[in-house]
Amino acid sequence: MVWFFARDNEAVRVETRFDNATGEYVLEIDWASKPLQIERFRDHAAFEDRVAGIETRLRSESWAQVGGPEILPGGWRGPFTN
């Protein structure tokens, strides 16, 4: 799933997925002005906690979600290229 957030002229893309090849949950955070951040988790509870932490951080830093989460076909990377 992919979520988009905006604040002023900045944008953030948050993608979550399951990597079938490695058996890991993957969290990607694409801050427009920073390198792509990729985190991998074998433990589902730790993954969910981390995603919730990112959501809390974004809200506390005044980021607004743009639209709802999108379920996208494999391989789609969003509007940013890294």
Q: Is residue 16 included in any domain, yes or no?
A: yes
Is 15 a domain residue? yes
Q: How confident is the model at residue 73 (pLDDT cuts 50, 70, 90)?
A: low
Mean model confidence pLDDT for the chain: 86
Q: Is residue 28 part of a domain?
A: yes
Residue 66 has pLDDT above 50, yes or no: yes
Residue at 71 is within a domain: no
Which amino acid is residue 66, in one-letter code?
V
Counted domains in the chain: 1
- The pTM (predicted TM-score) of the whole model is 0.80
CA 48 – CA 19 distance, rounded (Å): 15
- Looking at the predicted structure, is the pLDDT value of residue 75 above 60? no
Structure-token pair, residue 38: 């990729």
Residue 78, domain member (yes or no):
no
- Give residue-wise pLDDT tens across range 44-60: 999 999 999 999 999 99
In the chain, % of residues over pLDDT 90:
65
Give the residue among 42, 7, 12 at the shortest CA–CA distance from 50.
42
